Structure 1
Amino acid sequence: MASKIKKFFQKKKLDVKFKKAGEGHKLDSPGASTSTQAVPQGAAGNDKSQFRTAEQTEEKRKAAAAAMARLSSSQKTDTDDSMLYLRARVRKELEAEKQAEQEGATAASPREITLDSAPVLTTILFKCPDIGPAVLPKDEMDNYIEEFLLSELEAEPQMTSALMIQTLNKDKEKVRICNETLVKYLDNVIGNSTEDKFRKIRLGNKVFKERVSEMKGTNEFLQACGFQIRSLPFEDRHEDFYYLEDEYALDKERLVNIKEMLLEAHPIIPQLDRALKVFYPSSSASRFEIPEQFFNVTPEELKKEQQRKRDAAEKLGVLRTKAMRERDEQRELRKYRYTLLRIRMPDQVILQGTFRVQEKVSALFEFVRENIEMDWIPFQLTTSAGQKLNAESLTLAEAGLVPSALTNFSWDPAILAEVKAQKGMSSEKTALKPDIMMLIQNL
């Protein structure tokens, strides 16, 4: 049954691909040979429905080359030694940041945020590639998913209604109880298909009202099973019931399939959009403008918490136990929901993405690998304090990369030297893919 749900989403993905492809062309039409388009990563910006497109032709390579030319030309000075000057300045900044870390900051402490005048992130965006190409804020993405499910209800009523119950109800414990109750109803019919009392559900029943009827998607699911609302005798009056006619009640195989579908359904969960951005080398790389959505607490609450910590530290002095320090660290980690991370590449170009704080450090490595051209070469990410990041276990919060951080990218030197020797690769070659370099802008 799980394979049926998988095929359902595979079909939706295929539909999305066809919709993206646009109108077709005859083989002899002028646009037949070069009409292919792709949506590059990180295309979502302030316009929630905007998607960048890039021609997969010679024009794309020229545009990437032009971006690199702008990168080179924008760094020229009267002495033509600006790249050396820039690197020296960046090295000096790194040394200053490292010294500051050593003087008192710990790896788990949040980085102090200096607001930059140029906004680089205005809101958190989400996507759901299984159902469509939209990139939207959370509330609008939830509405987008609900509209998708409603649009599929007529074609796939049983599967879609099962997905609606899982997706549109946020209280997972109530969803679990609802599903258990619906399964019980179906089991009663499957085991007693000829007994009338097992084929009807009174809408006014207390258990039904508390566990089922208030949940989104349940009315659609019961109708997909074959239940219809009828007024039937009850005690000394008539009441409304969901009633299952013979043709549906006696088809046990169908009811078993529907029950399995309900048990296998899982919620459609939108993915956090990385909001990928690429910046020219900048001395402002370590300055961040962080939206309030990144925080689990308001700025006022954050200030009060910081004051409380200072007061407690003054009272306790050095007499804080290990358990007390660990509680403070955990409280610190729970302040943040998202983190804005930048990766400084070997040519000083900056790659930026948005992450959940509970994602593993491995997600950051995967993000970088997706956007570099030579993705088979091992690389290392290092914090501004010189600490090498381990992709194995820590979350981004546990690694101290919240609510923002700047890391430095470096290739494995031995393997890079071998590749350069074999391919004659230039040391000034950018690490990022050409289509990613097309997104470059000033910070």
Structure 2
Amino acid sequence: MSAIKKFFQKKKMDFKFKKYGEGHKLDEPTQKPPPTHRPVPQPGTSSQPPISPRGDATVTEEKKRAAAAALARMEQKEKQSKQDENIMSMKARMRREMEAEKKASEKMMAQAQAMQGPVEIEKDHSPVIPHVLYTCPDIGPAVLPKDEIDAYIQEFLLGQLAEEPEMSSAVMIQTLNKDKEKVKICVETLIKYLDNITKNPGEEKYRKIRMSNKAFKERVSQLNGTDEFLQACGFEIKQLPFEDNEENFYVMSGEIAENVERLNGIKEVLVAAEPIQCQLDRALKVFHQSSSSSKFDIPEEFYAINPEELKREQQRRQEAVEKMGMLRTKAMRERDEMKELRKYRFTLVRVRLPDGILIQGIFRANEKLSCLYDFIRSSLENDWMPFILQTSNGSKLTEETKTMAELGLCPAVVLHFVWDESIMKDVHAAQGGGATSSILKSDIMAHIQSL
């Protein structure tokens, strides 16, 4: 029996007991009820007893209250039932979304693996790429690891100070400091110092900078190259009285401050200065046809985190997806996708040419596919001829604005080079059915080696 039916039965029983008056104990003598005189009905009137103004009115009020309470309980129960249904519906929908997301993730991983082909990481021989190397053609031919190329650039700039102190020091500020926001604030502060001097060359207070000043320490002195720049402007370090003590100041003489044209020129150099940036060396290699083309030995520099951490992270993500109770918003999913793209710093790409020869290069994970096309095109004997790159399963790589990471080409991949068929027909016809002797330039083919 439902709770609501029990509620109404109880109310009926209560009403019957009240109707028959107060009860008595069984061992008490029963008292005869006082005789009641039934009124004689008058002609034309009903034989029914008259309505008691108290009893029936009370019953009516109780019925109303009981009905209102019952209705309220029924509405509350229906409301709760709807809420439960909504919660269950929401859970079911989220479960379906999680299942769909899991399937999509598995499908994406399968596609990425298919695009990459059979990548095998071997650790039982010397690595093909011992280090990721960099070059800086603007200052010299050196090809060095990152730490060494940074030291090479710094040494170059220090060597130029004697000849071009203003320009070299301005470039040092831009090059030797990684936090670009701090560099921006530093440059703005230095410009303000110079503006104050050029506008007020006779004012001594503008020609002095206390080295212990909090703003100066936070915005200027903690950055590399600032001391060299201030001295190039004409400031000298001197001890001057300050609050019953002596402190170090950068001080510019009145004579130097009067040369406003020179100081404005230095300010323009500071504003126009740009950092010297090293470039990733492609480490171009050419290999004879080999069955080991899909075997790689990847340096740990290729990973944003080490390989062991990468495996643990992938395992954690898989477990999280399998827990269907884990609710993930769109923002959480997008954040995970960005995290996935940042796992790799570099990728090693091998391209198999139609004659079986392999050409290899290194790329940043965030470089666009167009960079790979440019690299291959610059190595071709006939660089004007159109071609396409394909994955091992035949998928064409045509989205040149996407990055290597977005295309699933990290940390290593073997791709296939295919000439444009219509162009090749014309070439074959012009050559009488013959083919070019070599696809790659002769100076590149001169360095071919076995894999």
- Seen in structure 2, the aligned counterparts of structure 1 residues 255 and 321 have a Cα distance that, compared at 3 Å, is closer
Which of 255, 261, 267 matches 1:259?
A: 267
Q: Does 1:106 align with 2:111?
A: yes
Q: 2:321 aligns with which of 313, 324, 328?
A: 313
Distance, in Å, in 2 between the alignment partners of 1:335 and 1:102 is: 19
Deviations 1:275-304 (A, max 9, x none): 111111111212211110000112221121
Q: Secondary structure at the match of 1:414?
A: helix
Change in Cα spacing, 1:210 to 1:108, as seen in structure 2 (3 Å) is farther
**Residue pairs, 1:150-161, within 5 angstroms:** 150-161=158-169
Q: Indicate which of 365, 387, 391 corresponds to 1:379.
A: 387
Q: 1:419 aligns with which of 427, 434, 445?
A: 427
Q: Alpha-carbon deviations, 1:54-95, whole Å to 9, x = none?
A: xxxxxxxxxxxxxxxxxxxxxxxxxxxxxxxxxxxxxxxxxx
Corresponding residue of 2:223: 215
| 8 Å Cα contact 1:108/1:397 also seen in 2 | no
Q: Which secondary structure does the structure 2 equivalent of 1:105 belong to?
A: helix
1:287 corresponds to 2:325:
no
Q: Which moved more, 1:200-209 or 1:338-347?
A: 200-209
Alignment partner of 1:332 out of 340, 345, 350: 340
- Separation (CA, whole Å) in 2 of partners of 1:197 and 1:404: 61
After superposition, the Cα gap between the structure-2 partners of 1:219 and 1:292, relative to the gap in structure 1 and judged at 3 Å, is same
- Deviation per CA, 1:211-268, whole angstroms, max 9, x where unpaired? 2112111111011111111222333333221111123211111111111111111111
> Comparing both chains, which one has the higher relative contact order based on Cα–Cα distances under 8 Å and sequence gaps of 6 or more?
1
Q: Which residue of 1 aligns with 2:374?
A: 366
CA distance in 2, matches of 1:316, 1:429: 59
- 1:233/1:317 Cα in 2 relative to 1: closer, same or farther (>3 Å)? closer
For residues 291 and 156 of structure 1, the distance between their equivalents in structure 2, rounded to whole angstroms, comes to 40
Output the amino acid matched with 1:105. A
Tell me by how many angstroms 1:161 deviates: 0.1
Question: Residues 33-66 of structure 1, C-alpha deviation per residue, up to 9 Å, x if partnerless?
Answer: xxxxxxxxxxxxxxxxxxxxxxxxxxxxxxxxxx
The structure with more radius of gyration:
2
- Tell me how far apart the structure 1 counterparts of residues 258 and 316 of structure 2 sit (CA, whole Å): 67
Asked whether the equivalents of residues 365 and 391 of structure 1 are also in contact (C-alpha less than 8 Å), the reply is no
Q: Which residue of 1 aligns with 2:195?
A: 187
Distance 1:158 1:304 in 2: 51
Quick one: which amino acid aligns to residue 260 of structure 1? E
Kindly indicate whether the alpha-carbon contact (under 8 Å) linking 2:115 and 2:395 is maintained by their aligned counterparts in 1.
no
Backbone CA RMSD of aligned residues: 2.4
What's the offset of the Cα at 1:419?
A: 2.5
The residue that corresponds to 1:79 in the other structure is none
Query: Structure 1: which 5+ residue stretches go unaligned?
Result: 1-100
Residue 302 (structure 2) pairs with residue 297 (structure 1): no
Q: Is the 8 A contact 1:276 1:353 kept in 2?
A: yes
Alignment of 1:198-209 (within 5 A): 198-209=206-217
Residue by residue over 1:359-403, the C-alpha shift from the partner in whole angstroms, topping out at 9 and shown as x without a partner, is 110000000011111001111111112111125310111111111
Q: In 2, are the aligned partners of 1:380 and 1:388 still within 8 Å (CA)?
A: yes
How far apart, in 2, do the equivalents of 1:302 and 1:142 lie? Answer: 28
**How many Å apart are 1:324 and its aligned residue?**
6.1
Secondary structure of the residue aligned to 2:212 is coil
Q: Deviations over 1:301-355 (max 9, x none)?
A: 1121121123223323999887665544332211000000111111010000000
- Equivalent in the alignment of 1:197: 205
Q: Is the CA contact (8 Å cut-off) linking 1:113 and 1:289 kept in structure 2?
A: no
Answer yes or no: is the 8 Å Cα contact 1:110–1:402 preserved in 2: no
What residue is the counterpart of 1:91 in the other structure? Answer: none
Instruction: Tell me the residue number matched to 2:413.
Output: 405
**1-structure distance, mates of 2:139, 2:350:** 29
Instruction: State how 1:134-173 maps to structure 2 within 5 Å.
Output: 134-173=142-181
Scaled by the length of structure 2, the TM-score of the pair is 0.71
1:438, distance to aligned residue in structure 2 (A): 1.0
Paired residue for 2:396?
Answer: 388
Shift of the 135–318 alpha-carbon distance from structure 1 to 2, 3 Å rule, reads same
Taking the aligned partners of 1:399 and 1:103, their CA distance within structure 2 comes to 11
| Cα distance, 1:428 vs structure 2 | 6.1
2:276 maps to 268
Given that 1:341 and 1:354 are in contact with CA atoms closer than 8 Å, whether structure 2 keeps it comes out as yes
Tell me how many residue pairs correspond in the alignment: 343
State the TM-score, normalizing by the size of structure 1. 0.73
Amino acid across the alignment from 1:106: Q
Consecutive unaligned residues in structure 2, runs of 5 or more: 1-105
Is 1:125 the counterpart of 2:133? The answer is yes
Partner of residue 3, structure 1: none
- Partner-residue secondary structure (3-state), 2:167: helix
